[in-house]
Amino acid sequence: MEEGANGTVTPLASMFPADEAQKAAGRVQDAIAEKRRELDRVRGFAADNAALVNLVQKLPEELHHDVMVPFGKAAFFPGRLIHTNEFTVLLGEGYYAERTSKQTVEILRRRGKALETHVDSLKSIIEDLKTEASFFDKTASEAAEGLVEIREELSGEESDEGSSELGQKEDGPSISVEDKGKILNEDEEYDRLMSKLDELEKEELAAEAADNIEEETNEVDPDVVSDQSSFHQNLKDLEGSHSCMPPSHSERQASNEEFLRQTRQQPALVEKLNPGDFTIASSQKDKTSHGNDLLWNLKGPDIADKSPKLPALEENDHAGSSNNEVPIQPPKPKVDSLRAFTGSIIEHSPNLPINPREPSATSSKVPGSQSSKPLSRFRMQRK
Amino acid sequence: MDNYRLDKVHKFEEFVDRRLKPDLVRAISERDKVFEQQKTFSDLRKNIENLQKNSVTSLRTLVNLGSEVYMQAEVPDTQHIFVDVGLGFHVEFTWSEALNYISLREEKLARQIEEYTHHIASIKAQIKMVCEGIRELLQLPAEATLQEPIF
């Protein structure tokens, strides 16, 4: 097929045989069923807990209650509950505490909350597994249809043009392998961080830089057709210089959701995903289903991530005011990542969206989403 | 001929896996349940004997309200005890009556356990027999280990 080019064409079915993929989907379905059972069980616990809260609240209303006191498993004595405001509650590990009704209710409420978060996490796990299953199903059907994956080595300048065209063709069919997705995820995360920093920087530079940006971006934009609108919107907000967060946030939201749909998200992936939304966490967490319970332990890492970078940002502020090249950097990686999430081959993502007519200044940082990391860091220091 | 034999072997294997083994598992779990009942009744007997020995007339215990939350309970009169006689019925006994009932109940439970043990043994024997049948069909030599245990 591709005799002239130095690429390889692999039918998807040879990598993921249809029946194997179906088997994998079946296994995931089994896992879902199992999780569902666990969910039901935990829900039962939660219901029991709620009933107990009611009971504990009601018991102290009377001085004593006539009950049948269990004596072993098979016998009862007629008797009554006394000291109705004294409860002995198991704290765990065989330790018991004497509590009043109110205190007991508090303990039980906390237990209920723990159960709720458990239910939530189970729900999100089930959602994840569902996406995974649908992904396997899709792979199976695609393999059955006889799709092929086209891979091509990147070599030199002259192949750039051809491969970028090729890349457009490959966009739909091919499917990224899991670990590549992870790498990509890290890249995306980094890119988000960088774009965030740049936006903040931009905010401080305010209006006089805005003119420069517009010129600059007009040069770069035309090729990136798919992202143009959001890109422009982003820029407009940058010009306005009051709040550049909302657009980038919504864009990120979109890419997040896209990402959630596309990848089979293990919890690890999701965790990685979330650290990206530091400042906008409040609105973000409403949308992502499990943001709530994950957020609290993610806040730490976010701050840790952010703080070491701030000094660098400060440096840039002094030197970089005249440099109009800065704002280009954030959107570009984003283009890469977005593209990758639409299912394109990851190795190609660096040169896929690349605009052949791009100015030479920017072409130096194109080489790859992987390499963009060290390069941009270098650029930061150079300024 | 060969096909016929393979068919037969397959049918036997299926019989062992689908019928006999689940039966065995069920019988064992039933017997475990009876064992548990036996244990509760022997515990109850010991407890009542203890009460008798110490001539306890009133009692204070902790009642589990659920989720390991306990509340104190008082039994003003321990002379009368309600014992579970099955099907959700509880009968009011005095101590001696209760002990009497419990001993009868324990006897019955012991008989049940015996029955289940026989049942389990027969299922195991059936499994072994079918396996031997399969062996014969395949014309394998009898396992050496089978003869060994004869001392």
pLDDT of amino acid A277: 44
pLDDT of amino acid B148: 53
Tell whether A59 is within 8 A of chain B (Cβ).
yes
For chain A, the distance separating the N- and C-terminal CA atoms, rounded to the nearest angstrom, is 47
Q: How far is B17 from chain A (nearest CA, A)?
A: 22
Which residues does A303 contact at the CB level (< 8 Å), separation at least 6? A278
Q: Do residue B69 and residue A80 have CB atoms under 8 angstroms apart? A: no
A43 pLDDT above the threshold of 80: yes
Q: Do residue B81 and residue A75 have CB atoms under 8 angstroms apart? A: yes
Would B150 be classed as within a structural domain? no
Amino acid (one-letter) located at A11? P
Per-residue confidence at A83, pLDDT binned at 50, 70, 90? confident
Q: A150 near A170, Cβ under 8 Å? A: yes
pLDDT of amino acid A336: 47
Chain A residue with CA closest to B36: the answer is A73
pLDDT of amino acid A206: 65
Contacts of residue B84 in chain A, CB cutoff 8 Å?
73-75
Tell whether A254 is within 8 A of chain B (Cβ).
no
Q: How far is A58 from chain B (nearest CA, A)?
A: 12
Would B151 be classed as within a structural domain? no
What is the ipTM score, two decimals?
0.72
Tell whether B35 is within 8 A of chain A (Cβ).
no
Question: DSSP readout, A351-371?
Answer: TSS--TT--HHHHTT-S-TTT
Contacts of residue B64 in chain A, CB cutoff 8 Å?
70
pLDDT of amino acid A288: 42
What is the reported pTM? 0.48
Here the CATH number for the domain that contains residue B69 is 1.10.287.370
Q: How far is B115 from chain A (nearest CA, A)?
A: 23
- CA A248/CA A250 separation, integer angstroms: 5
Indicate the average pLDDT of chain B. 87
Contacts of residue A51 in chain B, CB cutoff 8 Å?
66
Of A49, A56, A86, nearest to B72 by CB-CB distance is A86
Q: Do residue B69 and residue A52 have CB atoms under 8 angstroms apart? A: yes
Would B63 be classed as within a structural domain? yes
Q: Who wins on pLDDT, A264 or B128?
A: B128
A371 pLDDT above the threshold of 60: no
Would B145 be classed as within a structural domain? no
pLDDT (tens digit per residue) in A64-78: 888 888 888 888 888
pLDDT (tens digit per residue) in B74-109: 888 888 889 888 888 989 988 888 889 999 999 999
CATH entry 1.10.287.370 includes domain A2-151: yes
- Between the ranges A297-311, A334-348, B9-23, where is the mean pLDDT highest? B9-23
Chains A–B, number of C-beta pairs less than 8 Å apart = 102
Per-residue confidence at A4, pLDDT binned at 50, 70, 90? low
pLDDT (tens digit per residue) in B38-57: 999 999 999 889 888 888 88
B36 pLDDT above the threshold of 60: yes
Q: How far is B118 from chain A (nearest CA, A)?
A: 27
Which residues does B132 contact at the CB level (< 8 Å), separation at least 6? none
Q: How far is A33 from chain B (nearest CA, A)?
A: 23
Instruction: With CA atoms as reference, report the closest residue to A377 among A244, A198, A235, A184.
Output: A198
pLDDT of amino acid A123: 93
Contacts of residue A74 in chain B, CB cutoff 8 Å?
37, 40-41, 44, 83-84
Would B70 be classed as within a structural domain? yes
Indicate the average pLDDT of chain A. 64
Which residues does A376 contact at the CB level (< 8 Å), separation at least 6? A194, A329, A365
Q: How far, CA to CA in Å, does B18 sit from each of A82, A298, B12, B28, B127?
A: 55, 50, 10, 16, 11
Question: DSSP readout, B97-109?
Answer: HHHHHHHHHHHHH
Per-residue confidence at B28, pLDDT binned at 50, 70, 90? very high
pLDDT of amino acid A227: 47
A62 pLDDT above the threshold of 60: yes
Residue B126, classified by CB atoms within 10 Å of its CB into exposed (0-12), middle (13-18) or buried (19+), is middle
Domain count, chain B: 1
B13 pLDDT above the threshold of 70: yes
Would B143 be classed as within a structural domain? no
Tell whether B38 is within 8 A of chain A (Cβ).
no
> Quick count: other Cβ atoms within 10 Å of Cβ B82?
20
What is the span of the domain harbouring residue B107? Answer: 1-138
Per-residue confidence at A365, pLDDT binned at 50, 70, 90? very low
pLDDT of amino acid B107: 94
- CA A138/CA B13 separation, integer angstroms: 38
Q: Taking residues A228-234, report their average pLDDT.
A: 50
Q: Among A214-218, A219-223, B82-86, whose mean pLDDT is lowest?
A: A219-223
pLDDT of amino acid A279: 41
Per-residue confidence at A233, pLDDT binned at 50, 70, 90? low
Q: Taking residues A153-167, report their average pLDDT.
A: 54
Q: A343 near A176, Cβ under 8 Å? A: yes
B116 pLDDT above the threshold of 60: yes
B63 pLDDT above the threshold of 50: yes
Per-residue confidence at B1, pLDDT binned at 50, 70, 90? low
Question: Which two tokens mark A183?
Answer: 């790498």
Tell whether B76 is within 8 A of chain A (Cβ).
yes
pLDDT of amino acid A243: 42
pLDDT of amino acid A366: 42
Phi, psi of A9 (to 5 degrees): -115, 115
Question: Which two tokens mark B92?
Answer: 């009011």
A260 pLDDT above the threshold of 60: no
Q: Where in chain A is the domain with CATH 1.10.287.370?
A: 2-151
Question: Which two tokens mark A13?
Answer: 């079915």
